[in-house]
Amino acid sequence: MLYNVVEIQKILPHRYPFLLVDRITDLVKGESIEGYKNISISEPVFQGHFPDHPIYPGVMIIEGMAQAGGVLAFKSMDNASQEEIENKVVYFMSIDKAKFRAPVTPGDKLVYKLTVIKNKGAVWNLDAKAYVDEKLVAQAQLKAMIVDK
């Protein structure tokens, strides 16, 4: 484990119920990141999606992958202090080629794996994939930018 949820909260501004990364398990600055979220029936989203047939929403999977990408972008900032990181935020710019391949349900461990397609200054293009039990469940190309708060 590289970063637990407490350490992730020092990097990202997201909080419950919208912090969607529990752990970061691997990170190569400027190249790739791997992390996960444990999907529990106690997630607030399951109250309405769907009460008798709980499915973790695809948009939440995309957001979780984006949050992992945010950790990668912040941790790839050379020589950035904690104060500098706290004064920045990552904005989503686009989602392309999103595909959902299998449902994610309570009890699943949703593993996010992202690699950098391109990074130019504050803009990051990422290839994002999500897995459950090594089976691809979702994928997308994400673009984000680090900006001042």
Q: Which helix (H) or strand (E) holds 139?
A: strand 135-148
Percentage of the chain modeled with pLDDT above 70: 100
Interacting residues of 135 by C-beta distance below 8 A, sequence separation 6+: 101, 102
Taking the C-alpha atoms of residue 36 and residue 81, their distance in angstroms, rounded to an integer, is 25
**Per-residue model confidence as pLDDT tens digits over 46-71:** 999 998 999 999 999 999 999 999 99
Q: What pLDDT is recorded for position 84?
A: 80
pTM above 0.85, yes or no: yes
Residues designated as active site:
49
User: Distances in Å between the alpha carbon of 31 and those of 59, 71, 115?
Assistant: 24, 12, 6
Q: How confident is the model at residue 96, as a pLDDT?
A: 98
Instruction: Give the pLDDT score at 85.
Output: 80
What dotted CATH number matches 5-148? 3.10.129.10
Is the pLDDT at 80 greater than 80, yes or no?
no
